[in-house]
């Protein structure tokens, strides 16, 4: 429990420095971050003890994916591990360390070439589209 509380504090710090994430409500923080902490489907990055980034992922099924792609659906706790479609619900890198984070995911977390998707959201919080990647 203590480690999760510390992680939530670090996430809050990162979110304060991200134009998109600083608009999140407490409910959105709970829905979009906590399940990944409970399922150990996240990576947290720091340099010299200071937070620099956070990414989480979900493996969702085809039915849930169709709902999630609308940008109006929040994954339930069970849906984070319910399928074979890899999604990155949150990618927070407000200090420019995104490339480093992606390299780590490729090298240490996910098989290289794994197809993945993420919702593309404007700084105002509007859905722009779906980005597709190969990790």
Residue 131 has pLDDT above 70, yes or no: yes
pTM: predicted TM-score of the whole model, two decimal places: 0.92
Q: Which tens digit of pLDDT belongs to each residue from 79-94?
A: 999 999 999 999 999 9
Residue 1 has pLDDT above 70, yes or no: no
- Quote the pLDDT of residue 73: 95
Q: What is the DSSP letter of 52?
A: E
Bridge partners, residue 56, by sequence? 42, 90
- Quote the pLDDT of residue 70: 95
Catalytically active residues are 21
- Using alpha carbons, list the distances in angstroms from residue 10 to 16, 103, 107: 10, 21, 24
Angstrom distance (rounded) from CA 22 to CA 28:
11
- Quote the pLDDT of residue 12: 92
State the pLDDT confidence band at 6, using cuts at 50, 70 and 90.
Answer: confident
Sorted by where each starts, the structural domains of the chain and their CATH numbers stand as 2-134 (3.40.630.30)
DSSP per residue over 55-113, as a string?
EEEEEE-HHHHHHHTTT--PPPTGGGBSSSEEEEEEEE-TTS-HHHHHHHIIIIIS-TT
Q: Which tens digit of pLDDT belongs to each residue from 26-76?
A: 999 899 999 999 999 999 999 999 999 999 999 999 999 999 999 999 999
- Quote the pLDDT of residue 5: 78
Q: Which tens digit of pLDDT belongs to each residue from 17-27?
A: 999 899 999 99
């Amino acid at each position: 429990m203590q480690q999760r509380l510390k992680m939530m504090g670090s996430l809050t710090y990162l979110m304060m420095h991200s134009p998109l994430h600083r608009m999140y409500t407490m409910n959105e923080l709970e829905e979009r971050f906590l399940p990944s902490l409970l399922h150990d489907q996240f990576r947290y990055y720091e340099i010299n003890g200071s937070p620099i980034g956070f990414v989480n992922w979900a493996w969702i099924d085809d039915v849930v994916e169709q709902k999630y792609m609308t940008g109006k659906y929040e994954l339930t706790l069970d849906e984070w591990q319910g399928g074979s479609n890899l999604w990155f619900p949150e990618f927070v890198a407000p200090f420019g360390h995104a490339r480093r984070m992606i390299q780590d995911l490729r090298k240490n977390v996910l098989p290289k070439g794994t197809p993945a998707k993420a919702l593309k959201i404007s700084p105002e919080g509007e859905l722009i589209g779906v980005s597709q990647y190969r990790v």
